[in-house]
Each structure stands twice: as C-alpha cells, then as structure tokens.
Amino acid sequence: MTDTATSTKNAAERIAELRAELDAHNHRYYVLDEPSIPDAEYDRLFNELKTLEGEHPELVTADSPTQRVGGAALSAFGEVRHEVPMLSLGNAFEDSDLLDFDRRVREGLDLPAGDLFGGGATVAYCCEPKLDGLAVSLLYRDGQLVRGATRGDGSTGEDISSNVRTVRNIPLKLQGSGWPALLEVRGEVFMSKAGFEALNVRQLESGGKTFANPRNAAAGSLRQLDPKITASRPLEFCCYGIGQVQGELPDSQVGILQALKGWGLPISHELKLAEGVEACLDYYRNIGERRQALAYEIDGVVFKVNNLAWQRELGFRAREPRWAIAHKFPASEELTELLDVEFQVGRTGAVTPVARLKPVKVAGVTVSNATLHNMDEVARLGLMIGDTVIIRRAGDVIPQVMAVVAERRPADARSVQIPACCPVCGSQVERTQLVKRSKGKETLSEGAVYRCVGRLACGAQLKQAIIHFVSRRALDIEGLGEKSVEQLVDEGLVRSPADLFTLRFEQIVGLEGFAELSSNNLLAAIAASKRPGLARFIYALGIPDVGEETAKTLARALGSLTRIQQALPEVLTWLPDVGAEVAYEIHNFFGDDHNRTVIAQLLERGLQLQEEGELHAEFAAATTLADFIDKLNIPFIAATGARNLADKAGSFDGVIALSQDWLELSVMKGLNDKAKQSLREFFANPDNVARARAIETQLRDFGMHWESEKKAVAGLPLAGQTWVLTGTLEAMSRDMAKDKLEALGAKVAGSVSAKTSCVVAGPGAGSKLAKASELGVRVLDEAEFLGLLQQFA
Ligand code: IVH
C-alpha cells in the first residue's frame, strides 16, 4: 500500500470511530436527555472529525454528524408523494365526545357492551400529548435517512430532506439492528418554549422578524430554502407513528413506538398505555394540569387503539382514522377584533397602550382587554384599530395580542397614535430618552416608553405610587386597599406619600367603607408602619428599576439612607447586579428636588428607619484597583488594559502619575498606543481627575480596601468567575448555594451574559437557562453542581 492509501485507511477507521461515538453521545443528549460527556469533550471529538473530513473530502457521507450544519440553499422545494396518505384526526372537546368515540370503537369491533353494573370489554389506548408543531415524514432505507417531507395536503408534500438533517434529535442513521429495510417514520417537528423565547430574543437583537408562537416559529424555520437557517433554529422532533414499511414491526402501537425508540428515534416522554376510556380521561386531566409546566406547547392529547389488528379492522372514515382521536384542551389562542386602543398611566408615568377587544372566550375565560406594552410593540405588530388580531392567554398569564391578521384589515382601519397630553392630568407626554454610557461617552437614543411629565401632580401616578408605598412588601399598611387610596387622592386628602402620616380621624371617617372602627384601625396601621426597615423603605419609594432585591442590596451594602442618597452612580455599579442604567436611575431619583422634599417630609412626620448603621464588608470585597480603572470608562481601556495598568502602577495615584509620564508610559507593556494616548488625555483633564478622586474617596468612605481584598480572593478556586443560579435546588437553598460559591471566590450574579462562567440550573429553570444555551455558557444541573462542591470540600 502507498503512504496515502495507508493514511486514508487510518483516517477512514478513525472517522468511523468518531462518528459512532458522536452518534451515541447525540442520542444520549437529545433523545434520552442523559448527557454523558461535557460539551467541551463533545466539541473536541466533533472538531477532530471535521478536520479529518476536511483532509479527506472523499470520505464525507451524508450521515456524518458534521452534515447537520445545512448544505446548499434550494430555489424551490421538490414534491413528495405520500405512499400512505398523511391523515388528520377527529377531535373531542368534551368528556362525552371521548366516551362516544370509545363506544364507536367497541361497537366497530363487536366487543361486548357493559350494562348498568359495568362490565363489558375495555379497549387499551396508546396515549400521547398532541404536540403543536408540524407533521413530518422521515424515510429510512436500510437504516439511512434518505428523505424528509412535510404533510402538504396529505397526499403530496414538500421535500425538506436537507432541512430535517439539521434537526439535532433526528438520527441520520438508525441505531442497533432489526429495523425494516424501508421504514417511514412520522412525527411532529416543534420548538420548545425556551427555544422559541431564545430565538425571538435573537431575532429582535439582529433586527429579524419575531414569531407569534412556537408553532409558527417551527413552521417558518423548517420551510426554509436555505438549510443553514434551519440549522440555526432550535427545532426538535418527536415521532408518533409510521407510514410505509417493508419488514417486520411489533403488533401494537406502543410496541412500535418502543421499537422506534430502540433505534434511536425520539418518542414522547409522556407515552402511556391506558386500559379503557376512564383511564384515558385521567390521562387527559393529568396532562392538562401539567400543561403549563411542560417544556413545549401542546393543544391536547391523542388516543390511539393500541392493538394494530383492531386498527386495521376499524379502518378509516373520510380522511380520519376510526381508531384514533385528538382530545383537545380549550384553545389558548382566538381571533377577535381590536375595537380601540386606550392609554393607561402607570406608577412611573409610563403611558401604556391597552387594547380594547371585542370580548372573546380564550381558554375558558372572557378576554376584553390586553396590554400592548409600548408603542414599539404596536409598531412591531403593525396594529391598526379595526384589525382582527390573534389573542393568546396561557395559564394565568395576562392576555397578549400576538399578531394581526393582515388579510382581514377593514378599509376604515385607523392608526394608533400616542396622545400629546396625559389622559389623566393633561400634562405633556414625552418620549423617554435612552442614555447609553460607554467608555466616557453618552449616546442618546429614543426609548420605547412615553411618560407623562406630571409625576405626583398626575392623579394616576400619585395613586399608583401610594398603592405601591403601602403595599405588603413595602410599608405594609393594612386596611389601605386600592379603592381607599383612590378615594383619599380624589378627595384631595393625600397629595404625596408623606400626607398619609398627617391624616386625621375626621378626614377619613365617612369615606366609603370607613366607619369609626375602620378609621381608627387605619390610623393605627399607619402609625405602626412608621419604623420600616431600610430595604423596605427604599423599595417603597418606587425608584424606577429598583425592585425588592436591589433595595435589599442597597440597604445591606450601604447601611444608611444618607449613603444611598449620596452614592455616585459609578460607585453604585460596584454593587452586585447594579448596572449603569439602574445606578443612574437611583442617582437621578435622589437628585430630584421633589423626591428630596417628599423624603424630608416623611422623616419630619415621624418616619424612623430601622436597620441603619454599619457598612457591609461585601461592598469592600467586590473591589480591585483594576476594577476601579475599568469602571472609570476611559476610552480604549478595557478590562485587560485596566488590569495591566493596575499591576504596573500599584495605586490610583500611581496610575495618574504614570498617565502623565510619557516616557515611562511609552515603554509600558500590555497597553497599546491608542490606549496610552487616551489614558494621557483622560487624566490631563482636571474634571476627570476630580471625578475619579471623588469616586475613590467615596469608595474609601464606604469601606473599600482594594489591594488586600484582591489577595484574599485571588487564591480561591473560582476566583474571577461569575456564576448564575436559576430554577429550584433541592439539596440546599439558593442563599446557601450562593454562600458556597462566594466562599470559593466566585461572584454570583442575577442575570446571564456572555461574561457568565457557569449557570447552575435546577428544575423549572426558564429564560436564564435558555439564554445560557443561546450564548453557549456552561450549564450544570444540581447533581453536577454538588459534585463540584464536593471536589473543593
Ligand atoms: S397521529 C392518523 N399523534 O396532529 C394519525 N398526530 O390532527 C395522524 N399531532 O397532522 C396523526 N401530536 O401533526 C398524531 N401524538 C400525535 C400527534 C399528532 C401532534 C398532529 C399531527 C397531525 C395532527 C392531526
């Protein structure tokens, strides 16, 4: 043999080995949900295969795992004739429809009927969820995937072979042995809820079109002429049946599905065999209760006679099998008409469009209003008054307008206009400005939100502000519900939260719902709320973007209202989960004269904050000199440059001195010329020096000791890493998990970004997990996380 022939033979062997190994891992990961190797190891094997195939293009085959990225784009789909037609299912909506179906089945099979005392023969049914995606046929010849097709009109579909190859859990070749020589598998291609959310986030970011629901997203992704687009979409497959077959298969529906599973095809995790129709109803109710918690959308369940001989005996009526039925859940989407768009004013003055709809029943509840979020959303939907719209209500989620049915737009449809004046107080309505701060520069852009500038002079904002101020998690003033607040404001008795503390008995008694006793009770409740904890008080103020968690962080880290009020925005960004935007909101809130007056009045009128006092060590621990330099936002100096600068200069004074010493600076390593130039210019400006000094002084006042802290964390195993916890953990509380991670030197953040080192995801993890997979961030489940802790114990 020549050298090339030997190397080709070795390559062919290694390629076969790698494919087998990757196929096995794929199957464990996508079909069994039991990943067996870390992603990095998978990537290594995959890259090795890709390199070998690149060196030996003659060895590339269609069933190689590398071929899932999508081949060349088509100009049109070819046609596929279905040898066995792809049928649809009859529907049952009420329990009685299902009982009728079961009766027809038993009569069709001539099985003995029961009497008043029960008895009779029961039929066993194969039960599965009815996935909301699109039906697909996959043809395997000698175990190789040779064709994929859509359902089309049931007799003729489209050839989407290149596209189905990109769906990760569709095996390109069957596993094991014993499969029929020709096997047509049928099932649903769908998108999980998390995959759908992540895709829409990505589409928004890239300016692409977003999808109304997972079903549309799945259909739009699968019917792409360019399979590379399909490959980039989070599609999944689940099989529920077969079409044409040449060869032997088990003689029951469940038996066939289990055989398919054994050959590496994904089947439903919810597959069950039910003895008799009552067991089917139990199955329907059980899945119905868990519907919202499932990872994918379903619109019902499907029951099929399990015995195949019986299926043949029952046969078909028109285009529906007599042996199967879909038992539907109440629809979560309906069509209705948009009668008008009105504008509501919220606590922070945001003027929000609300859709007034022709009442329609959605999933059992009559819907006549839906929020439209903001004017960008109205524009995104292309909404006009008079339009027919798709309304969706999932579980207890508020109804949403998903899309406009463009074909049904009436000639007299009107556009939606934001009012120039507040519908409540008549003040001007302004579009918010978004301020983006990056590396010393501020860029303004138009925000999606419009605000009424009236603030507490606007009745709507005042009412909402007070409702928030007295709410259970804020000052917790019992007996002051929304209706009472509305009265107090409408009667002019309360013009700011501070007015609550000067209310007198004779002002309240006689208001609707206030007799002598309830008036006294309310005054007592107000008096009892005068000693709130600092965190509660900060939360109660209703600072935009400051929820309970941020309020707690501020209170814990800074320990006093005065410090929080005085904190510079840059300093606030040192706190965990406080980004520049929130920091500026906090700073602007306390800088506002009106807010200052209200706070001063509250304190004058007897409000005494509790838990005020010491600074928390946590604040200091978060700080390093490099961090400090980075946060000064000097143009062209990013995290690495900042670190090099900190190492070289050793102290803040050192950095200033170095920046002005051109000779010393020009020979410094780890900083490029542009960065050096920028550094020099930055500190040549006395305003910048003064600002930096003010930040440094405040950090020191707040207890920062950067050098020593840096050393303490540096040696720890997870130093420099940022972790995110999501979902529920069973073995320990989140706080405990956080403590453990921090003790190992990691920072624990509340949201996932490209900088996140690792995400720990327990059951119920949602958008954070989706974001992590989107960004390719490493994810550990609880067991793996505990394993890791053990390793460092
Ligand atoms: S059986 C003859 N099983 O529902 C049997 N269909 O209305 C035909 N579907 O086109 C289909 N989940 O797209 C079957 N477990 C399931 C299903 C299912 C979803 C879809 C499928 C079909 C439509 C029938």
> Atom 6, ligand 1: which residue's CA is nearest?
130
- Give yes or no for residue 187 having a pLDDT over 70: yes
Candidates 1.10.150.170, 1.10.150.20, 3.40.50.970, 1.10.287.610; correct CATH number of 3-67? 1.10.287.610
240 lines ligand 1 (CB under 6 A): yes
302 lines ligand 1 (CB under 6 A): yes
pLDDT at residue 267, as a whole number = 96
Quick one: tokens of 673? 């010329």
Q: What's the rounded Cα separation, in Å, for the pair 552 and 539? A: 8
The reply to whether 41 sits in an annotated binding site is yes
> Atom 1, ligand 1: which residue's CA is nearest?
240
When pLDDT is averaged across residues 356-380 and rounded to a whole number, the result is 90
- Ligand 1 centre distance from Cα of residue 785 (Å): 39
- Give yes or no for residue 479 having a pLDDT over 60: yes
List, for residues 267-288, the tens digit of each pLDDT value.
999 999 999 999 999 999 999 9
Q: Which CATH class is domain 622-713?
A: mainly alpha
- Give yes or no for residue 621 having a pLDDT over 60: no
CATH number of 455-529: 1.10.150.20
- Give yes or no for residue 214 having a pLDDT over 80: yes
When pLDDT is averaged across residues 624-634 and rounded to a whole number, the result is 86
pLDDT at residue 711, as a whole number = 44
- Ligand 1 centre distance from Cα of residue 542 (Å): 50
Q: Which CATH class is domain 333-453?
A: mainly beta
In the chain, where the domains are located = 3-67, 90-328, 333-453, 455-529, 622-713, 722-792
Percent of the chain residues topping a pLDDT of 70: 94
pLDDT at residue 622, as a whole number = 58
Please tell me which residue, 168 or 208, carries the higher pLDDT value: 168
- Give yes or no for residue 542 having a pLDDT over 50: yes
Confidence of residue 736 (pLDDT cuts 50, 70, 90): confident
When pLDDT is averaged across residues 319-325 and rounded to a whole number, the result is 93
**Ligand 1 atom showing the smallest separation from residue 133 Cα:** 13
Q: What's the rounded Cα separation, in Å, for the pair 401 and 388? A: 10
The reply to whether 42 sits in an annotated binding site is yes
Partnered with residue 332 across adjacent β-strands are: none
- Ligand 1 centre distance from Cα of residue 310 (Å): 19
> Atom 23, ligand 1: which residue's CA is nearest?
88
The reply to whether 280 sits in an annotated binding site is no
Confirm if 662 and 676 have CB atoms less than 8 A apart: no
Please tell me which residue, 623 or 474, carries the higher pLDDT value: 474
When pLDDT is averaged across residues 179-192 and rounded to a whole number, the result is 97
Query: Which one of 50, 130, 439, 676 is the catalytic residue?
Result: 130
When pLDDT is averaged across residues 688-714 and rounded to a whole number, the result is 74
Residue-averaged pLDDT of the chain:
89
When pLDDT is averaged across residues 463-478 and rounded to a whole number, the result is 94
**Ligand 1 atom showing the smallest separation from residue 301 Cα:** 15
91 lines ligand 1 (CB under 6 A): no
130 part of the active site: yes
Which long-range CB contacts under 8 A does 740-744 form with residues at least 24 apart?
A: 740/789, 743/716, 744/716, 744/717, 744/718, 744/792
Instruction: Classify 79 as helix, strand or coil.
Output: strand
Confirm if 636 and 675 have CB atoms less than 8 A apart: yes
Least confident of 350-364, 475-489, 586-600, 752-766: 752-766
- Give yes or no for residue 3 having a pLDDT over 70: no
219 lines ligand 1 (CB under 6 A): no
> Atom 11, ligand 1: which residue's CA is nearest?
88
Candidates 3.40.50.1820, 3.30.565.60, 3.40.640.10, 3.40.50.10190; correct CATH number of 722-792? 3.40.50.10190
**Is 455-529 in the same CATH topology as 333-453?**
no
List, for residues 661-684, the tens digit of each pLDDT value.
988 899 898 899 999 999 999 999
- Give yes or no for residue 2 having a pLDDT over 60: no
When pLDDT is averaged across residues 176-203 and rounded to a whole number, the result is 95
Confirm if 3 and 11 have CB atoms less than 8 A apart: no
Confidence of residue 417 (pLDDT cuts 50, 70, 90): very high
> Atom 24, ligand 1: which residue's CA is nearest?
88
pLDDT at residue 616, as a whole number = 66
197 lines ligand 1 (CB under 6 A): no
pLDDT at residue 139, as a whole number = 97
- Ligand 1 centre distance from Cα of residue 689 (Å): 69
The reply to whether 425 sits in an annotated binding site is yes
When pLDDT is averaged across residues 22-40 and rounded to a whole number, the result is 76
**Ligand 1 atom showing the smallest separation from residue 151 Cα:** 10
> Atom 12, ligand 1: which residue's CA is nearest?
130
The reply to whether 448 sits in an annotated binding site is no
- Ligand 1 centre distance from Cα of residue 135 (Å): 7
Candidates 3.30.470.30, 3.40.50.2000, 3.90.1170.50, 3.10.450.40; correct CATH number of 90-328? 3.30.470.30
Percent of the chain residues topping a pLDDT of 90: 56
375 to 36, 351, 432, 451, 453: CA distances (angstroms): 47, 9, 12, 12, 17
Say if residue 337 is exposed, middle or buried (CB neighbours under 10 Å; 0-12, 13-18, 19+).
Answer: middle
- Give yes or no for residue 601 having a pLDDT over 90: yes
Least confident of 85-89, 345-349, 448-452, 702-706: 702-706
When pLDDT is averaged across residues 76-98 and rounded to a whole number, the result is 91
